[in-house]
Amino acid sequence: MPISLVTRDDFYALSKAIKKHGWKFLATKLKLKAAARVKAQWDTYQSAGTNWWDISMVRDRWNRKITGNEKYDWEQYVVEKYVGNRQNLSILSIGCGTGEKERVFAKFPQFSAIVGMDVSEKSIQKAREIASQNQYSTISYRADDFTKADFGQEKFDFVLFYSSLHHFRNIEALLQNNVIPVLKSGGLVIVFEYTGPNRFQYHRNQLEEANRCLSLLPSSMKLRSDDTVKRTIYQPGLLRTILNDPSEAPSSESILPSIQKWLRPLEEKPVGGAILHMLLKDIAHHFTDTSNSEAIKYLGTLFQEEDAFYEKTGQSDFWFGVYGLKELGNSRKS
């Protein structure tokens, strides 16, 4: 795959960051050590509403690929398939951000204890506020580094990684030393993750196909929120990615092989994103209005193109999976 230290897209991202935070913030951030830069990134993160996950039809598409029905949410699917009528269950959600998924699972009465954990104290503070306002008494939050957290004898029925596992570096060590020890006997790991190229250094065929698909859109649907036109898709430069957030996808390619080595797959399903993840970045707002028939038509075409790309190459940058513990000793023999 092509590796780029700096790309044209980096200059656009830099100009946006300066407008939003100013030079002083950026200069301060560059002086921070890696762990502090990660924390600073997520303490100041605010969704711009311009990523592919902001599009309801994309989320429906995920449901369809996971559950077979676009209106059957994957969280409910997990509960109905793997929880059933069991009661007093617990979930540990790693990299929970502001707590969206914990609030989803808290609506199911089978769960009596849901713990969300994140390195960002500001995200955890926001999650606590929302949970309190909505009286989610089963949820608690911890501002902590999962790799250093002390759980004592506490174990969980489920461990959830929702777009967070790709922020860890040594996936095998994480599974062996941190995940498996906190799982109860019969416990499950739920994963919805970016598993594509490390540091978003996309494969050449992905970039070529994404740019071909971008050319199918009219100029009006390629306008960013700042009125510049997205004419070409570039992968982010390696230097910018590491300086901005050292935790961003350092070992994402190793996620599936590592999980398959240390855990027992119950199901794994490709969710897509090899094209749409990069294509829709910064222009997703054109496709959020489901009453806009023209935009919905173009989005449907993009879905078809990505599906065709997967059928041809087998490349999916996002995967959903549910995993159980292997029998004692099996992971060591793998």
pLDDT tens digits, 131-146: 999 999 999 999 999 9
- CATH numbers and ranges of domains, the chain: 8-327 (3.40.50.150)
Least-confidence region, from 42-51, 63-72, 102-111: 42-51
**Across 32-41, 214-223, 242-251, which has the greatest mean pLDDT?**
214-223
pLDDT value at residue 50: 78
Average pLDDT of the chain?
A: 90
pLDDT value at residue 34: 62
pLDDT value at residue 332: 41
* pLDDT band at 334; cut points 50, 70, 90: very low
Separation in Å, CA 239 to CA 13, 38, 200: 13, 15, 12
pLDDT higher than 70, residue 17? no
Give every CB contact of residue 147 below 8 A, 6+ residues apart in sequence.
168, 174, 178
Bigger pLDDT: 24 vs 200: 200
Are residues 236 and 178 in contact, defined by beta-carbon separation less than 8 angstroms?
no
pLDDT value at residue 9: 74
The pTM is what? 0.88
Least-confidence region, from 13-17, 189-193, 202-206, 320-324: 13-17
- At 265-295, the pLDDT tens digits run 999 999 999 999 999 999 999 999 999 999 9
Encoding tokens for residue 159?
A: 């461990």
pLDDT value at residue 101: 97
pLDDT higher than 80, residue 100? yes
- The closest of 72, 156, 65 to 112, measured between CA atoms, is 156
- At 23-52, the pLDDT tens digits run 555 556 555 566 665 665 655 655 556 799
β-strands 183-194, 156-162: how paired? Answer: parallel
pLDDT value at residue 5: 74
pLDDT higher than 90, residue 59? yes
Are residues 83 and 89 in contact, defined by beta-carbon separation less than 8 angstroms?
yes
pLDDT value at residue 210: 98
Once rounded to an integer, what is the mean pLDDT over residues 226-251? 85
Bigger pLDDT: 107 vs 25: 107
- Can you spell out the DSSP letters for 240-293? HHHHH-TTSSSSGGGHHHHHHHHEEEEEEEEEE-TTHHHHSTTTGGGG--TT-H
pLDDT value at residue 246: 82
pLDDT value at residue 22: 65
The span from the CA of 157 to the CA of 55, in Å, is: 31
CA 155 to chain centre: 24
pLDDT higher than 60, residue 193? yes
* pLDDT band at 239; cut points 50, 70, 90: confident
Once rounded to an integer, what is the mean pLDDT over residues 63-83? 98
pLDDT value at residue 331: 44
